[in-house]
Amino acid sequence: MLEELLLAAALTVGGFLLLQRTLLKMPRCQSAARLEGKTAVITGANTGIGKTTAKDLARRGCRLILACRDRRRGEDAVREIIQETGNSQVIFMQLDLASLQSVRSFANDFLRSESRLDLLINNAGLLNAGKTEDGFGMIFGVNHLGHFLLTALLLDRLKASGPSRVVTVASRAYEIGTLDFKCLTAQRGFGSGDSNFQLLLKYSHSKLCNVLFTYELAKRLQGSSVSCFSLHPGVIKTEIGRYSSFWWRLFVNPLVFLFAMDAESGAQTTLHCALEPGIEHLSGHYFSYCKPKMNIKAEARDDGAAKKLWELSESFCGLS
């Protein structure tokens, strides 16, 4: 009996390791680009995919702005990145995407202190209930609206620094997302209800917003030297669900442990979109596993919905 149990355990571990090395192994960004003289802003860069992306860019010589809400964690990340990469041009700047005033303050401070912007990486995301400072649903406000305003306020600097790129971390969860514009207009978010399942649906809706935003942004950037991309990073072990209920984490965490990839793997498609030469003609596309996805869901290529989302976002942000 003991031998059978040991054999079963060995087969399970072996199968898991094989899975990790095959189906769960992400392709790697192949770019050898150096980034001396370039400047990048990364939101949510104090943890997970964002911090891993920042470390890679720092090793390439980039000047980095870590745009994070939590000052202590942001400054800790700055020290860690400088220590690991030897690049001293890593700076924390406070940004709370749940506050449109904070977004404006960040943009003003950045534009006063930095002469160029080559990469804007809209990486931060959350899965939280509640409302933003401005009364928007938290998931809609942070995952989409805060990044929309940030990009809009920095767009002229991106154009002046071109060729430059905007990279927005979306998710394959967009595939089950929908947009109810009546609900968005009336409730300034994706509706009521904050069960774990409802939060997951709201997250999916926000990721559809990310993909549509990038699609519309590319149209508006035609003729400029700025290209933009959205992406699915993979199923990654991050802290995005750290505020979920105990029972939800009890159910989900074992699945994440078994099947999710680490943050280094999750950063590869972000890095590919940020660094790979010759993909400018794919501006507006959605990437996964370091490749553009051509069979994208029709709702994510809806010209009318993309334009309507842009115009509603402009109205919410006071830009129109």
pTM of the model: 0.87
Q: What is the pLDDT of residue 283?
A: 98
**What percent of the chain clears pLDDT 90, i.e. is strictly above it?**
80
Asked if residue 28 belongs to a domain, the reply is no
Asked if residue 18 belongs to a domain, the reply is no
pLDDT at 68 > cutoff 50: yes
Q: What is the pLDDT of residue 263?
A: 76
CATH number of the structural domain spanning residue 46:
3.40.50.720
Asked if residue 1 belongs to a domain, the reply is no
Asked if residue 19 belongs to a domain, the reply is no
**pLDDT tens profile 84-110:** 999 999 999 999 999 999 999 999 999
Active site residue 203: yes
DSSP per-residue string spanning the chain:
-HHHHHHHHHHHHHHHHHHHHTTTPPP--------TT-EEEEETTTSHHHHHHHHHHHHTT-EEEEEES-HHHHHHHHHHHHHHH----EEEEE--TT-HHHHHHHHHHHHHH-S--SEEEE-------SB-TTSSBHHHIIIIIIHHHHHHHHHHHHHHT-SEEEEEE--GGGGG----HHHHHHHSSS-S--SHHHHHHHHHHHHHHHHHHHHHHHHHTTTSSEEEEEEE--SB--STTTTS-HHHHHHHHHHHHHHPBPHHHHTHHHHHHHH-TT-GGGTT-EEETTEE-SS--GGGG-HHHHHHHHHHHHHHTT--
**pLDDT tens profile 117-135:** 999 999 999 999 999 999 9
Q: Catalytic: which of 203, 215, 243, 286?
A: 203
**What percent of the chain clears pLDDT 70, i.e. is strictly above it?**
84
pLDDT at 280 > cutoff 60: yes
Q: What total of structural domains would you count in the chain? A: 1
Asked if residue 60 belongs to a domain, the reply is yes
Range of the domain at 146: 36-315
**pLDDT tens profile 170-198:** 999 999 999 999 999 999 999 988 999 99
Q: What is the pLDDT of residue 138?
A: 98
pLDDT at 3 > cutoff 60: no
Q: What is the pLDDT of residue 255?
A: 43
Asked if residue 23 belongs to a domain, the reply is no
Asked if residue 15 belongs to a domain, the reply is no
Asked if residue 5 belongs to a domain, the reply is no
